[in-house]
Amino acid sequence: MTDTSTATRILLDSRPVGWPTPENFRIEEVALPELEAGQVRVRNEFLSVDPYMRGRMSDARSYVAPYALGAQITGGAIGRVVASRVDGMPEGSVVLHQHGWSDVVQGDAATFRIVPDIPGLPLSVRLHVLGMTGMTAYVGLTRIAALREGETVFISGAAGAVGTAAGQIARHLGAGRVIGSAGTPEKVALLTQKYGYDAGFDYHDGDVRELLAQAAPEGIDVFFDNVGGDHLQAALASFRDGGRAALCGAISSYNTTDRAAGPDNMANLITRGLTLRGFTLGDHLDLSAEFQQRMTGWFEDGGIVYDETIVDGIENTVQAFLDMMRGGNIGKMLVRI
Amino acid sequence: MTDTSTATRILLDSRPVGWPTPENFRIEEVALPELEAGQVRVRNEFLSVDPYMRGRMSDARSYVAPYALGAQITGGAIGRVVASRVDGMPEGSVVLHQHGWSDVVQGDAATFRIVPDIPGLPLSVRLHVLGMTGMTAYVGLTRIAALREGETVFISGAAGAVGTAAGQIARHLGAGRVIGSAGTPEKVALLTQKYGYDAGFDYHDGDVRELLAQAAPEGIDVFFDNVGGDHLQAALASFRDGGRAALCGAISSYNTTDRAAGPDNMANLITRGLTLRGFTLGDHLDLSAEFQQRMTGWFEDGGIVYDETIVDGIENTVQAFLDMMRGGNIGKMLVRI
């Protein structure tokens, strides 16, 4: 039995300017206080490292508050209850929470949510395809971009955690043709071999506009964007009339200090009647039950596959985050405690 | 009785590169053929000159086909039937049509539409506030931007034909605060004195972002864009969470030959959950009856005012168009025959 009276956790030590470095973070071991009534203590099994966390490390207006300097990095994680002072959340419960980058966390039971074990699947899927990542893909394709059967979909950052889920969900929703971009030949190969994409390209192979035009000679109807920058410009050039974009991420600009100019073809929005809509999952949590039901159904039919890039040890969390920001993962990047 | 057996009309002689000049056009007098069965001949009273026509003068993919070289410029106009070979459209009927820049036009009766005379109003209002211009403002605010009561609205190019209608329609729809931009102090004064705007600014007075932030210190919810460029960038900076833009025109870029970079703050789309939606009226003609009914009601209540800049004579049509493109009009620019 591991000792859980102390926690090893990761704090934000200074705000990154441009690309984050290990020096922006600090690791420390702390003794945990006694559990109070109503609280549980959880030993984490998996921590999530996500692109949106980069935004919270800066001190800018955003949809979630910035991380405080000197405070622990919070975010999605899953683990098991090891001590409980509350009814209804006994020791051994598998719980999902947002307490983040620490091997042991504790707090009010209301900040943890019990999730059912799924036979044959690791707990970690709750942090991606069956969690926020998968739901982000689902919300973007359904509510934001209003994908209709038979349409052509382009997904940027297609080999990432959101992108691999989005390609498969687009297929289940009846997309006619699904095209993805990724940053290495290995990732591009996975798109068609594993994730049900009809075509993929490596965005390093040339002008993204030309690469997309070759992959979708008849144009696209829906764009699910995880990248921004020249990918958005390419989509604007390839859109058919009435096209819709769900803007989910712009990882291409998260670590730039100068503001990138926007697409030079915004006028297409008018002439082709296009819609660009940005979103963050927090505004669409009313779709949770619908997502869980449909996604679980697709899973059980064997219709959802996924990759995980797993790094072991809380002490490697920062490196996992940095690697993920540079595209060093296939599928979901996770830290296993 | 004027002779209507000949027509004086204006043709596109060469495609403008950058700003159009008089040399891009040609005026000619032609003898009209005998009327065929099913046709009417119409003596125009007013011709419309509109920003979208600039797009049709270029040979680029757009929502309407380019004007053919050597062919007459088509567009909105209103006049009276002077000869008819069809039942149901007798001489004297007031008709609206798209036959464009000619003093006399003729064609199948199906290409003309009889509109009721409105006591006390000139025919010309059918070419703007009670026509396509007013409907463009209505569609943009209702269907495209989904304006809700109490919201703050920013309208660029506010003293133009669409902008003056949009400000008043926003007011009737219950907007909380309506802000406009225009290009001269005289136009800005009209916004608040005549058109029901709460505030206005001259976009030559500084950085549009700062000017808008001063006029709307608590941010904006809806942006109706006739201008594009730095106005869109300013709106993206001022949007509150969930803001929506109806992109109707981008007159700032119609005459540039190099492609302008887009806004440098597109990432706000994601973090604030914004929607940018371009539109052209042709995709929303199903709202015609609704628009006519509501707009006529507002008119009859005395709740709609308008300006016209009228140029006399078919031979001055090109100059009227060029002046309009450079902002030389207040309200709707029209040619009176």
DSSP, residue by residue, B24-73: GEEEEEEEPPPPPTTEEEEEEEEEE--THHHHHHS-S--SSPPPPTTSBP
List CB contacts (< 8 A) between A253 and chain B: 267
| pLDDT at residue A251, as a whole number | 61
CA-based nearest distance A143→chain B, Å: 13
Taking CB atoms and an 8 Å limit, are A279 and B259 in contact across chains? no
Domain co-membership, A143 together with A275: yes
Q: What is the ipTM of this complex?
A: 0.84
Burial class (CB in 10 A: 0-12, 13-18, 19+), B244: buried
Do strands B152-155 and B332-336 pair parallel, antiparallel, or not at all (unpaired)? unpaired
pLDDT for A1:
46
In chain A, which residues have their Cβ closer than 8 Å to the Cβ of B55? 271
Quick check: B258 pLDDT over 60? no
Domain contains B288: no
Question: Which residue in the block uniquely carries the two structure tokens 């628009």?
Answer: B291
Contact A278 B274 (CB under 8 A): yes
Task: Between A218 and B1, name the one with better pLDDT.
Answer: A218
Chain A residues with CB under 8 Å of B270 CB are: 247-250, 278-280
Token pair, residue B38, equals: 């099913």
Residues on chain B touching A266 (C-beta within 8 angstroms): 228, 232, 247, 250, 262-263
Task: Indicate whether B74 belongs to any domain.
Answer: yes
pLDDT tens, position by position, B54-68: 989 988 766 678 999
B263 contacts on A by Cβ (under 8 Å) = 262, 266
The per-residue pLDDT for range B121-166, each reduced to its tens digit, is 899 999 999 998 999 999 999 999 999 999 999 999 999 889 999 9
Which candidate from B63, B259, B275 shows the least CB-CB separation from A277? B275
Q: Among A208-212, B216-220, B225-229, B297-301, which stretch is predicted with the lowest mean pLDDT?
A: B297-301
CB contact under 8 A, B265 and A259: yes
- Residues A200 and A321 reside in one and the same domain: no
Compute the nearest-CA separation of B52 from chain A (Å). Answer: 10
Q: How many CA atoms lie within 13 A of A325 on its CB side?
A: 20
Is B318 found in the same domain as B210?
Answer: no
Q: Are residues B71 and B33 in the same domain?
A: yes
Spatial separation of the C-alpha atoms in residues B112 and B81, rounded to whole Å: 10
In A, what residues contact B, Cβ < 8 A?
A: 55, 61-63, 228, 232-233, 241-242, 247-250, 253, 259-280, 283
Range of the domain at A276: 132-282
Residue pair A240/A273 in contact by the 8 Å Cβ criterion: no
User: Is residue B21 a part of any domain in this protein?
Assistant: yes
What is the helix (H) or strand (E) element at residue B163, kind and residue range? helix B161-172
Contact A151, A286 (CB under 8 A): no
Summarize pLDDT for B78-122 with one digit per residue, the tens: 999 999 999 999 999 999 999 999 999 999 999 999 998 877 789
Rounded to a whole number of angstroms, the distance from the CA of A233 to the nearest CA of chain B is: 9
Note whether B222 and B170 are same-domain residues.
yes
Confidence of residue B294 (pLDDT cuts 50, 70, 90): very high
Q: A73-76: list long-range contacts, CB under 8 Å, 24+ apart.
A: A73/A10, A73/A11, A73/A12, A73/A25, A73/A100, A73/A101, A74/A98, A74/A99, A74/A100, A74/A101, A75/A47, A75/A48, A75/A49, A75/A50, A75/A100, A75/A101, A76/A47, A76/A48, A76/A50, A76/A100, A76/A127, A76/A131, A76/A132
Which residue is listed with tokens 């900076």? B237
User: 3-state class of B241 per DSSP?
Assistant: strand
Across the interface, whether the CB atoms of A279 and B268 are under 8 A apart is answered no
First to last CA, chain A: 14
Q: Which residue of B248, B276, B284, B285 to mutate against A (max A Cβ within 10 Å)? A: B276
Residue B35 and residue B61 in contact, taking contact as beta carbons nearer than 8 Å = no
CA–CA separation, B167 and B164 (whole Å): 5
Q: At which of A239, A265, A282 does a domain end?
A: A282
Task: Pick the range with the lowest mean pLDDT from B98-102, B225-229, B237-241.
Answer: B225-229
Residues with Cβ within 8 Å of B334's Cβ and at least 6 positions away in sequence, in order, are B46, B47, B48, B49, B124, B127, B128, B308, B309, B310, B311, B320
Helical (H) or strand (E) element with B145: none
Interface test with B, best of A236, A258, A266 (most B CBs within 10 A): A266
Instruction: Look at residue B65 in the predicted model and tell me its pLDDT.
Output: 81
Question: Within this chain, do residues B95 and B70 fall inside the same structural domain, yes or no?
Answer: yes
User: Are the CB atoms for B80 and B43 separated by under 8 Å?
Assistant: yes
Instruction: Give which of B52, B61, B270 to mutate to test A binding, by max A Cβ within 10 Å.
Output: B270
Q: What is the pLDDT of residue A62?
A: 63
Residue B256 pLDDT exceeds 80: no
Packing angle, helices A208-215 and A230-238, rounded to 10: 40
Kindly state whether residue A1 falls inside one of the protein's structural domains.
Answer: no
Q: How many CB atoms lie under 10 A from the CB of residue B162?
A: 26
Would residue A186 count as lying in a domain?
A: yes
CATH number at residue B197: 3.40.50.720
Cα of first residue to Cα of last residue in chain B, in angstroms, is 14
Instruction: With H, G, I as helix, E, B as strand and everything else as coil, classify residue A136.
Output: helix
Are residues B37 and B75 both part of a single domain? Answer: yes
Alpha carbon B90 to its chain centroid, in Å, reads 30
pLDDT tens-place values along chain A, 337 residues long = 467 899 999 999 999 998 999 999 999 999 999 999 999 999 999 999 998 899 899 887 666 789 999 999 999 999 999 999 999 999 999 999 999 999 999 999 999 999 988 777 899 999 999 998 999 999 999 999 999 999 999 999 999 889 999 999 999 999 999 999 999 999 999 999 999 999 999 999 999 999 999 999 999 999 999 988 899 999 999 999 999 999 997 666 665 555 678 898 998 999 899 999 999 998 999 999 999 999 989 988 777 999 899 999 999 999 999 999 888 888 899 999 9
Give the model's pLDDT for residue A104: 97
Is a pLDDT exceeding 50 seen at residue B76?
A: yes
Structure confidence at residue B181 (pLDDT):
97
A275:B276 CB<8 A: yes
Give the pLDDT score at A168: 96
Do β-strands B152-155 and B177-182 pair in parallel, antiparallel, or remain unpaired?
parallel
Share of chain B above pLDDT 90, in %: 79
Closest CB to B259: pick one of A228, A250, A265.
A265
Are the beta carbons of B63 and A273 separated by less than 8 Å? yes
Task: Tell me A103's DSSP state.
Answer: S
Instruction: For residue B206, give the DSSP letter.
Output: S
Task: Provide the token pair at A106.
Answer: 């504790």
For residue A291, tell me if it sits in a domain.
no
A302: in domain = no
C-alpha distance from A192 to closest chain B C-alpha (Å): 28
Chain B positions touching chain A (beta carbons under 8 Å): 55, 61-63, 228, 232-233, 241-242, 247-250, 253, 259-280, 283
Q: Is the pLDDT of residue B1 over 50?
A: no
Amino acid of residue A189: A
Instruction: Quickly state the pLDDT bin for B239 (edges 50, 70, 90).
Output: very high
For the record, the structure tokens of A16 come out as: 């990154």
Q: In whole numbers, what is the pLDDT of chain B averaged over residues?
A: 92
Question: Higher confidence at residue B308 or residue B249?
Answer: B308
Query: Helix or strand or coil: residue B236?
Result: helix
Structure tokens belonging to residue B240: 């509150």
The percent of residues in chain B predicted with pLDDT above 70, rounded, is 96
Check B278 against A263: CB less than 8 A apart: no
Rounded CA-CA distance B272/B245 in Å is 13
What is the tally of structural domains in chain A?
Answer: 2
Partner-chain residue, chosen from A62, A266, A268, that has the shortest CB–CB distance to B271: A62
Cβ pair A278:B260 closer than 8 A: no
The pLDDT value given to residue A97: 97
> CATH number, domain at A38?
3.90.180.10
A296 within a domain of the structure (yes/no): no
Distance CA A250, CA A110 (A): 32
Same domain, residue pair A110 and A198:
no
Q: Are B57 and B16 in contact (CB under 8 A)?
A: yes
Q: Indicate if B31 and B172 belong to the same structural domain.
A: no
Closest Cβ–Cβ partner in B55, B62, B270 for A247:
B270
Tokens of B297: 């009601």
Determine whether the interchain pair B277/A269 forms a contact, defined as Cβ–Cβ distance below 8 Å.
yes
Question: In terms of domains, do A88 and A146 share one?
Answer: no
The contacts of residue B69 (CB under 8 Å, 6+ apart) are B12, B13, B14, B15
Do residues A214 and A276 share a domain? yes
- For residue A286, the surrounding DSSP H or E stretch is none
Tokens encoding B334: 């029209």
For residues A43 and B328, what is the distance between their CA atoms, to the nearest angstrom? 71
Does one domain contain both A27 and A159?
no
